Amino acid sequence: MKKVYAGFDFAKVILAFFVVAIHIHPFEGMNNPYLDYLNTYLFSMAVPFFFAMTGYLLFQKEGKLYEQSRRVRSYIWKTVKLYVFANILYLPATFVGFRIWSIEPQYRFKVFVNEFLFVGEHYLSWPFWYLLATIYGLLIIYLLLKCYVPAVGILLLGVVSYRFSDVLTYWISHMDTLSGWKLEVADLASQTVRSGRMFTSILFLAIGMILARAHKLKNVHCGIRLLAFLVVSAVYLLHPTGYVYMIGRPLMVFTGVWFLSSIQVQDCLLYHVLREFSLVLYVCHMLFQFIWTECTHNPSAGGWMPYWFAICGCVLITGIRVTRKKEWKRSREFAKSHSINVRI
């Protein structure tokens, strides 16, 4: 039986809970600055970790780096299909958003296409910018691999794009202080990507890739990896400003994925369920939030009730999906054995 990265599977579930908390605001109305602090600096680390774990799993196979391009291309196509499916799933919420934001019917298609291609989100489908950023980030990495660019070169491009994302976000939020070409760039970005976050994926995907390819780092004891992660996390969370914020986030992801990759166990049903649940929770939680807001007639509903409503709904969907997959697998095995018996 093959081994799986159990640390990744458990982490993805926890991080998916963080994403749900970002969007549904379970602490709403508590007026606790510490809870707001968690939401701003800890929960926001979920997506960078998802990027890095994706990069690690894509590049863990042995062989030359450029030989991994086929796996990258396959994963891009898989993510594109998930992104399209998710957008179709959330179409009812998208149309409600058009009504809430008073977007005229003649402009709705243009707004939808712009958000689909550049922003990665519509009304209530906030999580899907991660999928679009993954597609664009991996597409750039794929092209670099085809040009035989080494891992260090991809990482350096990631650092540049990460820094550019911060600068672009700042420019967009301070357009009244800009002039010349900076104002033109900020104005174009505000009408398309709307922030610099779409440019962050390359760095974190590259971090996962570097960790997967660095064989010497894999020989370090898991206790040392955990200590490094705890130290970096403490420094970042205690002083998340300036250069500590800018450098601390990538370092926290690097040491975190480095530690999580050391936890490998024999595969079993539990880890399949965890993977299924984290995916369902990520994709569907805002769908249950949409149901909640429509039933309560409160578009900005937050708190523990809608939070756990979304969680329980996703648990139900996961149970149904896992059960159906097991039944499908049994039916295939039965059909295969029956076919063999007939031929005999």
- 20-29 pLDDT per residue, tens: 999 998 888 7
pLDDT at 339: 53
Same domain membership, residue 315 and residue 302: yes
Same domain membership, residue 170 and residue 101: yes
Which residues have C-beta within 8 Å of that of residue 123, sequence separation ≥ 6? Answer: 93, 94, 96, 97, 98, 100, 101
Cα distances from 107 to residues 98, 101, 147, 323, in angstroms, run 10, 12, 40, 43
Domain assignment present for residue 254? The answer is: no
Same domain membership, residue 189 and residue 173: yes
CA–CA gap between residue 172 and residue 119 (Å, rounded):
14
CA angle 164/128/213 to nearest 5° reads: 60
For residue 265, the surrounding DSSP H or E stretch is: strand 264-266
Same domain membership, residue 13 and residue 60: no
CA–CA gap between residue 243 and residue 223 (Å, rounded):
27
CA–CA gap between residue 68 and residue 160 (Å, rounded):
23
| Residue 268 backbone phi and psi in degrees, to 5 | -155, 180
**114, amino acid identity:** N
Beta bridge partners of 5: 264
pLDDT at 288: 94
pLDDT at 331: 64
CA–CA gap between residue 124 and residue 36 (Å, rounded):
21
> Last residue of some domain: 170, 188, 213?
213
pLDDT at 159: 97
Domain with 288 in it? 1-31+268-344
Domain assignment present for residue 332? The answer is: yes
Same domain membership, residue 153 and residue 91: yes
pLDDT at 289: 92
Q: Which pLDDT band holds residue 232 (cuts at 50, 70, 90)?
A: very high
Could you give the number of structural domains in the chain?
Answer: 2
What is the percentage of the chain residues whose pLDDT exceeds 70? 94
Q: Which pLDDT band holds residue 67 (cuts at 50, 70, 90)?
A: confident
Q: Which pLDDT band holds residue 342 (cuts at 50, 70, 90)?
A: very low
| Residue 327 three-state SS | helix
| Residue 164 backbone phi and psi in degrees, to 5 | -60, -35
Same domain membership, residue 49 and residue 13: no
- 14-48 pLDDT per residue, tens: 999 999 999 998 888 788 888 888 888 999 999 99
Domain assignment present for residue 248? The answer is: no
pLDDT at 333: 60
Domain assignment present for residue 253? The answer is: no
Same domain membership, residue 65 and residue 11: no
Q: Among candidates 169, 143, 124, which has minimal Cα distance to 66? A: 143
* CB contact burial 264-303 (16+ within 10 A = b; e otherwise): eeeeeeebebbbbbbbbbbbbbbbbbbbbbeeeeeeebbe
Domain assignment present for residue 117? The answer is: yes
Same domain membership, residue 72 and residue 209: yes
Maximum Cα–Cα distance for the chain, whole Å? 81
Domain assignment present for residue 255? The answer is: no
- 145-165 pLDDT per residue, tens: 999 999 999 999 999 999 999
**Average pLDDT rounded to a whole number, residues 110-124:** 94
Same domain membership, residue 116 and residue 58: yes
Q: Mean pLDDT score of the chain, rounded to an integer?
A: 90
**Average pLDDT rounded to a whole number, residues 112-134:** 95
- 247-303 pLDDT per residue, tens: 999 999 999 999 999 998 888 888 889 999 999 999 999 999 999 988 888 777 788
Same domain membership, residue 283 and residue 157: no
